[in-house]
Structure 1
Amino acid sequence: MQSSKNKVYELLDRRTRDSVISDESLFQASSVASELFVSRTLASQYLNALHADGLLVKVSGRPALFYSKKALEQRYQVEFQSDDFLSVQELINWISSHSRMKYDFEDVIGARTTLRHVIAQIKAAACYPPRGLPLLLVGSVGSGRSGIRKATEKWCVSERIIEGGMPGFTLDAASYEEPSQLLVTLFGKKDSDEGMLAKHPHSLFWVINSQAIDSATWSTLLSYFGNGHEKEPSAVPQSRSRLFFECTSTPDEVMSHAWAKQIPMIACMPSFVDRSLEDREALAVKAFNKESNKIGRRVLVSSIVLHKLASKTYEDGLVGLELDATIACANALADKGESGQALKIYSIHAPGLFDGKASYENMPEEPVLVDVARYDLVSKGSEGFSLLTNVVNDVENNGVTDSSALSQETFAHLSAYFEYLMRNRKHLLAGSSVGDAAGKVINGSFERLGCYVPVSFGAHLSNSMLFFKSNQLAASEWQGRMGRSLRDARLIVGQRLIDETQVMSHVANDLHDYLGLKLDANSLMIGTLFLRACSLRMSAKCRGIIAAHGYSTASSIADSANALLKSHVFDAIDMPLDISANQVADKLKEHLSRFPGKSDLVVLVDMGSLKDIGRCLSETLKVNVGVLNGVSTPMALAAGEQILSNQPMADVLRETAEKSRDAVKYSISECPSVRACIVFTSENGIPAAARLADLFAKSLPRSIDVDLIPCDYMALACGDVIPELEGKDILFAFGVNNPNISGVEFVSLEEIVDADAARTAGINLRNYLTAGEVAILKQNLIKNFSLENLMKHLTILEPNSLMEAVSAAVDSLQENIGAHFSYRMTMRMYIHVGYLVERLVTKDIIEYRGADVFARDHPDFVKAVVSSFKNISIAYGVKMPAEEINYLYDLINIDCGSKI
């Protein structure tokens, strides 16, 4: 049971925090005795004893006054060296002269995040000379306006805007029957009583419920600031007190009033649901801390309770949250109320959080009991930021190696950071689907880029984004502390990991375009580093992948093995339970088709036909495939050690099987030696196709083990056998017109000339170049295959003169036949006509069946072409044969879609 002495102290502490300290009636023994129903003599004894204990500040006199020392120090940011004063005025003056401790709203939850703009407006309004600017604080019920009012008073005292010891006054506009009564209270009556502004010329006044004030009263109130609407009231010429307003309303409702347009500072408080999760959790802690002080007991709250309450939607905002905290503490006291022990709050105590039906599978992470008295927003995510510090220091001190893999130390720190985030994923998500949606968008970005998705990459990156979003205050402090080290690390990563940076820029754009999420700079750096860690070395003899049935079986084994091996050795595929061996192979083929590199493949599976899986993969991927059955973490570790030591695939399989306790079966499917090639085709024959191949080779960022084979377009289109292509794996065909090779994708030259990079997706070199290198190739193709470059490389004639002649001929042809060519068709005509002129000069006319019949049936078109090409005929001494005219006719009709 609480002692009478403690009750006396709590009463004085509360009054010192909330009341005007110059109101002497509240701080003398008689008032305390009346409130607590004890004798005045006993109350005086308790007060003097508390003063002797150093807990109270005493003002000598008749009667003596007592104040809570702790409350005064916190309220006015002072440190008492003496706790005895001769008068209240001496106390006020001492507070005013010693209030040197700067206060900057640091105890206000959300001061640097969700309330930053509100506080900036308050500061601007309070600082403006001579009496500040009119400020209206707008917010819904339970948005925390009262806390902001108290913090504003502390800040004004700290900045010497108002005098220390002269506390703020709160006037309720709704409590006056007539608006004029509020004006009398503030300004007084003419030639009679002084108003409060004159009596307290260096204080802070808040008028709450100001939505009840009419327009005429607003006009008089605003005249206090000398804003020109009216002459300032004569009753308060010397006052420098700040006069602020507050209302319970919405911004739209406020702005519908004419008087709102006269208020330069309208600060809108976000509702509870609009505050960040970080803020809401801190507010929940604050509510429990308030209850702890009230009942005089240490309170420990389950992290699950804090997360759940922070995620609830309260119609009355903080009022509802504080009520839940009160009920939870009451239930906990009734449950286990032993005095002297900490009060522990669990889900069963908080209203609406536990219905007894929660399934084991849906239980959150292991709960932690949070001491609400020691809760610190900055230290809340300290473990995660400590792990990030290790990563940043590794990069800054050691740079990024030229090899495709990160150092073991950096990878270990990355893995530890991602493991920390995964442990706290449910806390980070807090019932939101943003994390899962972000993961899907991230994976989709890799799909569109034609890249393989590293194991758990979407989850890891989305977790990192949520971590920074839910720890904004701690993140700001960490970034400030890391300073130059963090900036240098970002610079090193951006400059050295160009390929990975390009991939991450696509991911960042997709996150913004699809979800409106901004990928923070720190998560961008972490994601880029992780991509480098996942890059498979092109020279490695074999690479590994784990495929297992279950929601996250393969991912869990791969994550654990990679972390223990301190290198990204295994990727993973999680598969449904009801999937056949053929479907397993199909799943693996779909995933592995996006892997860069042509190394042998070691596949660890939990079940399935080894030979069937290996054979299907070997035939599709054109690599040797080894399959091990009965995958487990120890097996993955054994295989990973062999892969890291660069052992041949057969040795990896044999050593792993021998080290496994149970009998493990494995199979090897060897791939027949098949050379990959790219076909270059031109209707102008093999020499022209060879020039295309040369220009393509020039665009490659580095040499690749792929044959570039020029072929005659007509031969391919007619289905003739091309000996050079026998037994070759054709990756894609490249040229002006599609020869329609069965099962082979075609990349059109005109699309590249059109600078449409998105249409060059058919360039299938993912097994030979990284995603970044493919992006560089596409950029080089657009540059090297510009029309000017084509004319220089694809013809033996002088390019500038030829360009002028071709351009004039094509323009004239459009006019003569009454057609308008599309941009793409115009490019195609330039290229074709350039070839045409060279063929005429070299007398290498194409063969085109039925040209004589065509000339007889289309005399107008023949005449139009001859007329249009007159300048070419004169300049180069050639004539347009019927075969070439016939070919031009068919080429134009491909674009027009109908006969000319």
Structure 2
Amino acid sequence: MSNSTKTKQLILEYIESNAAELLDEEELQEGINNFSAQIVAEKFNVSRNLASQYLNELVKEGVIEKTNSRPVFFYFRKMLEKKNERSDFRINKEDYEQSEQSNDVFENVIGHNGSLRNVIDQCKAATKYPPNGLPILLTGTSGAGKSYLANMIFNYAVEQKIIEEDKQFVIVNCSEFANNPELLTANLFGYKKGAFTGADSDNMGLIQAANGGVLFLDEVHSLNPSCQEKLFLFMDKGIYHLMGDNKNWKESSARLVFATTKDPEQALLRTLLRRIPVTINVPDLEERPIDEKEQLIFSFIQNEAKQIKKKIKLTQSYLQTLMSYRFRANVGELKSAIKRSCANAFLYHEEEGECLILKMFHLPENIIAYASFFITINEDEGDKLLFDPSKTKVEDGVEKILLLFDSLLKENDLYMEHKSDNKAFMEHAQKIITKYYDYLMFDKKNKNLRLEAYETAMEKVTEEICSRYKIQFQNNGLIPLIRYLVERGSYKSQIFEWERNEKERIDELYNMLKNKYEYEFSITEDFSEKVETIFDIRVSKMNRIILLLNIKFFNPEIKVQQIMGVVLSHGYSTASSIADAVNKLLDDYVFEAIDMPLDVTASEIGERLQSLVRRRHLSQDIILLVDMGSLEEIYKEISIIPNLNIGIINNITTKMALDVGLKIQNNDPMVQILESASKNTICSYKIIENRVREKAIIFVSETGIETARNMSELFLESLPRTINVKIIPYDYYMLMRNGINDEVFSENEVIFIAGTLNPNIKEIPYIAVEDIIGGNQLEVLHEAFSTIFSVEEMQALQNSMLMNFSLQNVVGYLTILNADKVLELVNNALNILQERLQIQLKYKSIISLNVHLSCLVERLVKKIPIETYFELDVVEREQARFIDACKDSFVKIERHYGVILPISEIAYIYDYFKAYM
């Protein structure tokens, strides 16, 4: 018998044995309270979700019954039937629902058993702690629900009879007194008559008003240090002075709850923080599971329905838009958007008894603008697309996931007990996963549109893994896998607890698959590492099991490459470039690459190679192609790798790698490949004397070669006549990396470089596009063309360039978007950014930034942002203020175009501002 079956049987016996002891109606009514999922979970030391799952399975089997109350109670069916035969007593579930209401106000909070479970547990613990509870600090962004939670803490204390019903919940918004701290002090602690001008009578203060109750200090970061210090004595001993009376002590047992949107370590005195033992972070709306967001939407709509006394329904596009939109002001903004859309719908609602229908165009304009990029508005969507919040049941995603996990573990239990074979296990496992995928793809009513971003990122990972290991995901099998990973990430805390309780069973299944499918397991580990890096999530053992099974389902037979090729070269990306070029030419993933710094040691090379071999350990041999260094030293470091033949070839070239790769594809023996490569390594030379280099002008842009090409075309249009000078659009980052040694300089006599950002080639003059636009520093042009154009032609060139390179033309030419709108939004963003940073940029810099930011917007819309930046981690660590300011200034652009500004792009914007920071 499996562990899960044993536990379920013990739960049934527990309910049966306890129910048998309930002899009369009164005992039965009291005793049934011992059969909730929470009580059973504590009794058998399992998670509440798992206990609920077992209890509901027993209900489906017809062995026990359950009530419709909150919380749900379970009772033994057969014993009740016998009792009912002896008396007129019956349990009516509807009556029980009326009589048994929740005795915990927190159970009415959406997310109490989900994302807010740990938050609420901490609130309860701090509230119950004797004698007067513990001070609580609630942190989180604006609108996350801190004030609501503080009120629930007070209600919970009253409900639990910790606080008397006649005591008060007193709210103080400290930000209202930010400019008058003395007034706040007077209001908090009270004052004696005559303590200050205007103090015409004694005032006992808010601390006294909250005596025996709760004092909620919202936006506590607005308290100045002096006011914070005045709280110390009260927090330590419960005593304080009235303002103007330093002789007499006052007492109060008010419980303190604080809230802040700032980092407490930065905004509050450490001496105050030491006196607040419980700090609770309230998660953002976007951090909470998608089903909780849906519950919040339905709850807010039902509240509006009660208020206006009308039934409210909503269309699919309305719900989908709310589910997909990122509410920066959290739950508060979501609630406001719903109230406003109800008001918009009610404005044109005339019939008395007619149901109010919420459609997408009833939402606030900023939300509609965001949604219009993704959703087609249908004014007449039909009744079949209407949702009734009062009747619509929100799917519990975590229960679906736990059912998926438990079903797989049960199949493994049968396999380990020799009640099924491996073939049966794999067939049943595929059916279980497919059923869950069907739920994700078809049963869930709403698709979060941001899944598209995850799908795009995951496609890149999968493409690399599939190419490397010669596997595939057929028939869009990747999409449900991505949605599973996203869905699972929404329930981290609950699933973590379940996995902890089921650790032994998970390990058993994990090890079985690891031993039986060694190559698939190796792919899974590589896949998992990349997913963890890109999505910043922990890929647990259950996740890896799902990944492995997916790989096996879609790839019943995987061919293992007998020889693994590895290119190892010194430099930033030399090895990667060679390996990538050869793999593309061969249309196969033959070579791995290891890029090493110039000062790397042989032992470090050995460590990197050993790590690579552990990941691709099923290849029988390795051919290592190195650029330079001692073969003997490298050999010593890697010769310790067991059960693997290793061949090393020195002085690697792309041609050599291609020849070796072809032979690896043909499955030639390793010795034959090495001998052939050694014989074909022939060095030859040729000198080309008196080569005449053509004159050339280079255009570059950090936004890409396409932008450089567009600028070169604008320049060609400006020339008064055709000239014998090449106009070359060139890769900015290649110039930055190679400098004057780049081949473009050896092949051409470059007159000057023009563009949007200086590549800093000291030997070649540079002219910026913003200088062309502003008509400044055109000496470079005059000097370059002095022997080519006459004075009249030079003037014509300058006039044409000023016209063609005007800001409006450049932006309109460089972007696929409406130039006027782009410039409007970019200018707005720049103004906000300068204001936030308290910087006034020069006109020249503003022109340059207008071009740069317009191109940036285009890249984001095309989904081809710049993703790399040298020392990005340093910028993130040291320029957090600039990053926050940049994100805030780009809010309108992000919402208008439905894009997100990545940190790497912000780093390049920062380069423009360096001189002013």
Same fold (TM over 0.5): no
Say which one has the larger Rg: 1
Question: TM-score per shorter chain, which class?
Answer: 0.3 to 0.5
